[in-house]
Structure 1
Amino acid sequence: MYISRPDYNVCHALLPKLRDLLDHYPLIRLGHIGASKVEGGAAKFMVFTVPSLLPIIEGKEFIRENQFVRFDRLNEQLEQMYEAYTK
């Protein structure tokens, strides 16, 4: 789940990078919540800063990256999760 705001440039910069990263994991779908458009969306996930990235598997949040996403670390974590769930 990717939570962003349309008026925040960092959100716009991260989304294409995130989509490129997820191209390597075809079974992962990207959900996107616009925090200012979907009332309660950010609150439901207890997100207080954007952008926020919350990979959720079987209803459980596994990682939380806020504002400054470290893509190298995120890739390693996604790879581990992907391998565990696709074997």
Structure 2
Amino acid sequence: MKKVSSTEEIREFINSDMAIVYFTGLDCGACEAIKYKVEDIIKEYPKIEACEISGEKYPNIAAEFGIFSLPILILYVDKKETIRTGRNVSMLDLEKDIDRYYNMIFN
């Protein structure tokens, strides 16, 4: 995932057909574990854009996106927020949802 530090950079990612914006904490074990699992999942989907931003380092940006706890993953499909999930994410369900949307858009 590409690390970003501004709302403008996030909006660039959101403007793609499919994008993941991942809000993470600085010293958060759950954040790191989920990040690595998501990165493994999206390796199979080369057209998905993904970025990561520290919600602790940039609290104003996190608040702008309605993020008040970490970690939070947001999947945008066709510039619209489609999935928002946090610490208790089911990786199997997330992968199924990503696969379904990816196939609808790109196949």
Query: Shared fold (TM-score greater than 0.5)?
Result: yes
- Structure 1 runs of 4+ off > 4 angstroms? none
Q: Supply the distance in 2 between the matched residues of 1:32 and 1:16 (Cα, whole angstroms).
A: 12
SS at match of 2:96: helix
For the pair 1:53 / 2:48, whether they are aligned, the reply is no
TM-align CA RMSD:
1.1
For the pair 1:11 / 2:27, whether they are aligned, the reply is no
Q: Supply the distance in 2 between the matched residues of 1:37 and 1:50 (Cα, whole angstroms).
A: 12
Q: Supply the distance in 2 between the matched residues of 1:80 and 1:68 (Cα, whole angstroms).
A: 21
Whichever structure has more strand as a proportion of its residues is: 2
Q: Unaligned regions of 5+ residues in structure 2, if any?
A: 1-20
Q: Unaligned regions of 5+ residues in structure 1, if any?
A: none
TM-score (norm 2): 0.76
Give the equivalent residue in structure 1 for 2:15. Answer: none
TM-score (norm 1): 0.91
Give the equivalent residue in structure 1 for 2:4. Answer: none
Q: Any conservation in 1 of the 2:24–2:72 contact (CA below 8 Å)?
A: yes
Give the equivalent residue in structure 2 for 1:24. Answer: 44
Q: Any conservation in 2 of the 1:4–1:35 contact (CA below 8 Å)?
A: yes
For the pair 1:72 / 2:72, whether they are aligned, the reply is no
Identical counterparts, % of pairs? 28
Matched positions, count: 87
Report deviation, 1:39.
3.7
